């Protein structure tokens, strides 16, 4: 399967919605697209919506960690939302939830980011 990503801005927050599979075949494409979009303008925070992500491997973890560092350098926050059970388990085992919050859905993630700022 392929990967599709939609990106929208909500004030200074980028919301990236991933659909499909984030693996070694698609990781570079996602990394480049996110790096470029975060580097533009006033993007300070990132919400990674994984509701429609069906599969992720360690390459995806690398992409997420790299964007986390990029956002941190801008003084922002990165959160994850809408994670299915298989991807959740991988993220949990990787320790990512120790450095970033996970929310049930985009609306909650955006609301929490606004409150946390």
Q: What is the pLDDT of residue 113?
A: 87
Q: What is the pTM of this model?
A: 0.93
Say yes or no: domain 3-116 is CATH 3.30.750.24: yes
Residue range 1-43, pLDDT digits in tens: 699 999 999 889 999 999 999 999 999 999 999 999 999 878 9
Euclidean distance between CA atoms 117 and 115, whole angstroms: 6
Q: What is the pLDDT of residue 22?
A: 96
Looking at residues 60-79, what average pLDDT do you find? 96
Residue 46 forms beta bridges with which residues? 14, 78
């Amino acid at each position: 399967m392929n990967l599709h990503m939609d990106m929208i801005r909500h004030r200074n927050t980028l919301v990236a919605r991933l659909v499909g599979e984030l693996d070694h075949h698609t990781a570079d494409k996602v990394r480049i697209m996110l790096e470029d979009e975060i580097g533009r303008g006033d993007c300070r925070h990132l919400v990674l919506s994984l509701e429609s992500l069906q599969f992720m491997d360690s390459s995806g973890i690398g992409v997420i960690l790299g964007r986390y560092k990029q956002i941190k350098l801008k003084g922002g926050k990165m959160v994850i939302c809408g994670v299915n059970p298989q991807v959740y388990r991988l993220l949990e085992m990787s320790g990512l939830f120790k450095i970033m919050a996970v929310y049930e859905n985009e609306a909650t993630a955006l609301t929490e980011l606004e409150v946390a700022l």
